[in-house]
Amino acid sequence: MEFSIKTLSPGKAKTGCLVLGVYRGARGAELTRAAQLADRAARGALREALGDVSGKTGSTLLLRRVPGLAAERILLVGLGERKEFAEAAYRDAVRGAANALKDLGAKDAAVFFAELKAGARPPAWNLRHLVLGMREAFYRFDQLKTQKKSPAPALASVTIAAAATAPLREALREAVATADGAALARTLGNLPSNICTPAYLAEEARKLARQFKLAIEVLERRDMEKLGMGALVSVTRGSRQPPKLIVLKYSGGARGRKPVAFVGKGITFDTGGISLKPSGEMDEMKFDMSGAGSVLGALRALAAMRAPVNVVGIIPACENMPGGAASKPGDIVTTLSGQTVEILNTDAEGRLILCDALTYAARFDPEAVVDIATLTGACVIALGHVATGLFANDQTLADEIREAAGDAWDRVWQMPLWEDYQEQLRSNFADMANIGGRPAGSVTAACFLSRFASKLRWAHLDIAGTAWKSGREKGSTGRPVPLLVRFVLRHAGKK
């Protein structure tokens, strides 16, 4: 789907579908400025057609060939009450419009959403969320189906109407690149673990490196062993799939400027290992590489938009499998940091691969490190599927991420990383255990990681509840690619 920005008149725009917003007022519909102009050109036909339609947020009403208007179709989209119109309502309206457009025969559309006032957000915000929302609704993953594929939507081009187009060009480039990055993360997440193996992730990273001229290095098992990554290697033992530690670098910023490092959990399938998971819904553990996918997606986005930033992505990728050589409860391993860990539960594997990757990240002398991981079921219990769990050892960094998350509407909620929780990781036999018991499971997981990040400005995103959806809508969300991209751009802008 192609997007462009133009100054258009609602009455004269020749388009397959004119998309206009309508608020819900005290006495029926309340037209937006663009809808008023169209209504005037149509001699009141829009207002007439709306009648007593409720104007619920995201609801739509389709009209065809309205005399006086050049457009073939008019899609009126409910925005809810004007005084309640803010970010969430805007996003609902975009989703409603996108879903209606998906089922139409129109090949092109002109959308008059850029200048709506979503809370206090500027037109660039509307534009970014229009593009991301449309692309999200139009995303398909059907390459593995041979039958009953739903037909591809006809819509090929979307014109975003705006009075002042020049200030929006940059936002459009960012939005399209971010949508492409999120789509990449989604597809990697949706691919099953027999296709999306650690080697597959490494090959995807190599493809990105070729396409966008990124630097890449892939460490093999023997490299990990030689370096002393005892925790990472311990997780790989039960699997036949060779592990990979992928390092991908994008240097679009000033030479000598310290990079931001993203560390993404890349467990391509998590059976739990010897501490085997129950079989119900175990298929969803193919999504356990979503952190890795989001790092690849964010790097793709930043490289495609030629962002003036330096970013390094570090991805420990492997499977967590039971087997004759697999790690067993009680095993003690020595991490790259030198600290020893008693593996009391082999299903707490994410922290084991991440701790060595965090230690490794220090080599790149990063200004800040953010890890992204589907780390704990406990985080899903705490925050559900709405907010990503945020933990940080630096409040300035946490605040930057919180603000970027609000901007990207890819929301996070900060959780405590207090010293008080650390004692739950006590071990009788090693420096620490890899689990901290049932209470505050997402916090003790973060506490574990913090022990490997003491020399870093570090934040941890637990995306266990937000990286994918279950049930009928099962599939990857591409989160938190929009957040990571927005964070890096805002962070670079501040310096």
Here's the x/- map for Mn ion, 344-373, by CB under 5 A: it reads as ---x-x------------------------
Contact 457, 153 (CB under 8 A): no
Catalytic residue among 351, 402, 411, 479: 351
277 tagged catalytic:
yes
Contact 272, 352 (CB under 8 A): no
Q: How far apart are CA 77 and CA 362, in angstroms?
A: 50
Residues interacting with ligand BES, by CB under 6 A? 270, 288, 345, 347-350, 374-378, 380, 435, 441, 464
Part in contact with Mn ion (CB under 5 A); list of ranges 31-39, 42-50, 124-132, 262-270: 262-270
Strands 475-476 and 468-469: antiparallel
Q: Interface with Zn ion includes 441 (CB under 5 A)?
A: no
Q: How far apart are CA 114 and CA 131, in angstroms?
A: 11
Please state the closest distance from residue 172 (CB atom) to Mn ion, in A. Answer: 40
* Residue with smaller CB distance to Zn ion, 91 or 351: 351
Part in contact with Mn ion (CB under 5 A); list of ranges 161-169, 172-180, 341-349, 424-432: 341-349
Q: How far apart are CA 302 and CA 70, in angstroms?
A: 39
* Residue with smaller CB distance to ligand BES, 185 or 375: 375
* Residue with smaller CB distance to ligand BES, 287 or 487: 287
Q: How far apart are CA 272 and CA 319, in angstroms?
A: 10
Exposure of 328 in the CB half-sphere (CA atoms within 13 A): 3
* Residue with smaller CB distance to Zn ion, 232 or 267: 267
- Looking at residues 264 to 303 of the shown chain, list those that interact with Mn ion (rule: CB under 5 A): 270
Q: Interface with Zn ion includes 288 (CB under 5 A)?
A: yes
Catalytic residue among 107, 206, 257, 277: 277
Angle, CA of 171, 175 and 177, to the nearest 5°: 120
157 binds, among ligand BES, Zn ion, Mn ion, none (CB under 5 to 8 A by kind): none
Contact 310, 251 (CB under 8 A): yes
351 tagged catalytic:
yes
Contact 139, 88 (CB under 8 A): no
Strands 60-64 and 73-81: antiparallel
Sign of CA dihedral 185, 203, 247, 232: positive
23: left (phi over 0), alpha (psi -120 to 50) or beta: beta
* Residue with smaller CB distance to Zn ion, 30 or 270: 270
35 binds, among Zn ion, Mn ion, ligand BES, none (CB under 5 to 8 A by kind): none
Please state the closest distance from residue 467 (CB atom) to ligand BES, in A. Answer: 8
345 binds, among Zn ion, Mn ion, ligand BES, none (CB under 5 to 8 A by kind): ligand BES
Part in contact with Zn ion (CB under 5 A); list of ranges 43-51, 194-202, 262-270, 478-486: 262-270
* Residue with smaller CB distance to ligand BES, 230 or 272: 272
Residue showing the smallest CB distance to Mn ion in the complex: 347
Sign of CA dihedral 427, 229, 188, 459: positive
Q: How far apart are CA 335 and CA 451, in angstroms?
A: 11
Interface residue list for Mn ion (CB under 5 A): 270, 347, 349
- Residue numbers annotated as active site: 277, 351
